[in-house]
Structure 1
Amino acid sequence: MNSLASSLLAATEGEATSNPIIPEWFEVIWGSIAFFLLLIVMWKLALPPIRRAMEARTERIQGDLDAAASAKAEAEELRASYDSRIAEANAEAARIIEEARAAAEAVRQERLAAIEPEIAERRAQAEADIEAARERAMAEVRSDITSIAVGAAEQVVRASIDEAAHAQLIEDYIERVGN
């Protein structure tokens, strides 16, 4: 506390004491000279490379931005090209599928047309076979009826009639039964 009191006392008495905040005049002059010398050296030696580096960096960034923009435009063009190719491929696929369907339908119609005569022939053959079987069945039925009628007639008449008369009687009987 003694030093504080002595400082206050010396300040009031007018004694010149040095202020720690305000520098001496010779320090200000030498500091200013050093500052300006350093400023000039920096201005001449350091500022041009710094400017060149900044300009190179700016140009590189601008070049990268331009390259990115051109790459984006190219990518958009490629995408549009691929989209159009995909659309063309889909249209071509649809056309090929439609042609295949038409060809399959034509083959089906052709095969049906080729088989129709065979089907008609087989149907006619089946009808002829059915008619022949019906005729055979009728002939068998007639022969069975003939033998039954002969047997019945022999029992009824019990007399012997010649063969021609038998056949005539049977034929008349069959005609009556058939009608």
Structure 2
Amino acid sequence: MNMAALQSVVGVLQAESVPNDGKGSTSLSPYFAPMKEVVIGGLATLIVFGLLYKLAWPAIAKGMKDRTARIQADLDESAAARAKAEADAAQIRTNLGDVEGERTRLFAEADQQAAALLEDGRARLAAEVAELEAKAEADIAAAAGRGADDLRADIARFSSQAIESAVTTSLDDATQQELIEGFISRVGAQS
């Protein structure tokens, strides 16, 4: 007998032992599966669960432990961050309480600096005014000296023009000739 024939015989035997309602094979009891299927299914389930327990459970347990450790680290980190935030908030509240004192101190310091700048500005301004006054007095004295010199030069020029004009109008030609010759003789005698 070949294999195909054997399978058909086994199929027929199995078909005769299971009641058939015309819609397909059914079990003897409408509530319970056949005992052969329960045993085979139970053994297969135990084998699968045993393999899962033996092979997959350590990886699952390690993953759960790692997850728990990560969650705990996150919780610890958040607790530390919260404690730091609360400390910072307390520090800020402490600093805010002293804001009025700091403000008063800063205003007093600014007033002192302004007063020092004002005093320094006044001293520099007084020094500049004194320097400008001294320079103006020196300029006035120099201008007066130049004016007097200019006035003397103008008087001498106008005097010489007036004398020359008066001499030329009051001297006749003979007297004028005599004065010129006298001048030439004095210059010749000096050389």
Q: TM-score, normalising length from structure 1? A: 0.44
Structure with the greater relative contact order (CA < 8 A, sep ≥ 6): 1 or 2?
1
Q: TM-score, normalising length from structure 2? A: 0.42
